[in-house]
Amino acid sequence: MYKVIEYEDIDKNIIDGPYCLIDVRSPSEYKLYTIPNSINIPILDDQERKIVGTAYVQEGPEKAIRLGMKIVSKKLPDIYDKVVELNKEYKKLIFFCARGGFRSKPLVALLSSLGISAIKLSGGYKKYRKYIIKVLPEIVKEIKFVVLYGNTGVGKTELLYFLKKEGMDVLDLEACANHRGSFFGSVGLGQQNSQKMFESLLYEALKNRKTNLVFIEGESKKIGKIFIPDYIFQAMEDGIHIRIDASLETRVNNIYKDYVKNNDWELILALEKLRKHIGDRNIDEYEELIKQSKYKKVIEDLMVKYYDPLYGHKKKNYQAVFKNENPAKTAKEIIKWANSLK
């Protein structure tokens, strides 16, 4: 026999000693979404999973299981070596697959029989996902968001960093999405997270908060291809709103620092998405300026002529306005102001 654990018990720390979550799904499944902080030890790689899946559909489960066993048997020594090393560091090893079935179940049974402290996560990723979908809205009901608004480049994301450094609770939506929003949002960041991974990271950030006052950056409903859940977006709308301002020079420097990283091709690709919005002539000019490394000219022009008119926050009733030329200093000013609300 082997042990089985509910994710809720892990979440509530009803587990003895340090543990490690191990995702045994294929690399592509793991890359798309997983339980945060888990590691991937795939039983089947992407191609093998496809072969076994085809056998399941065309020849039935018995044939598929037999084929899977044949493939996995050759990998067991390598898997065992990896697990043994992890077992030296962690008291409990918790394995999961998509639904807690054909992949994690036999592996946990085998490892348990060999003296490894292996535990199967009940219901796999699917049950974990169902759990956080239920619990995350309940968490958000307890939270009051302090929402930072301001034009492009005023340093809102950097302020979140310094607020967190000072011990405040922060939810960085752009970090969870791995996208900064806007047409340039993916520049320098690589592939954006999936919706499921985004929501898992939101959950991780909020469940570990120390208080119910959480700082967050004002965003539109959509960040790249990801949607902010309605209940979080509404909580932001109902939150405390403050505005961040900065000089044009500071804003240009902030954007330059965040986006220009020897990646002209990415910048030009992002500019192409703006062609229908600001015209061929402007885009052609900006692309030529990028080739000449005149990045700050392009940034300033885009701010003044496009981003500020389009995204300028004309919202009234900000409870406070802060000038941000030094984010470390501004963060302390915001904290002092927030403490005065109590």
User: Which residues are catalytic, by number?
Assistant: 97
Sheet order of strands, 213-217 included: 169-171, 213-217, 144-149, 240-245, 320-323
Amino acid at 37: N
Strands 39-40 and 3-5: unpaired
**Would you give the distance in Å from CA 324 to the centre of its chain?**
26
Q: How far apart are CA 157 and CA 40, in angstroms?
A: 30
d(C-alpha 103, C-alpha 43), whole Å: 7
Compute how many other C-beta atoms are within 10 angstroms of the C-beta atom of residue 42.
20
Q: Strands, DSSP E only, in 122-220? A: 144-149, 169-171, 213-217
The vertex-282 CA angle with 278 and 288, nearest 5°, equals 140
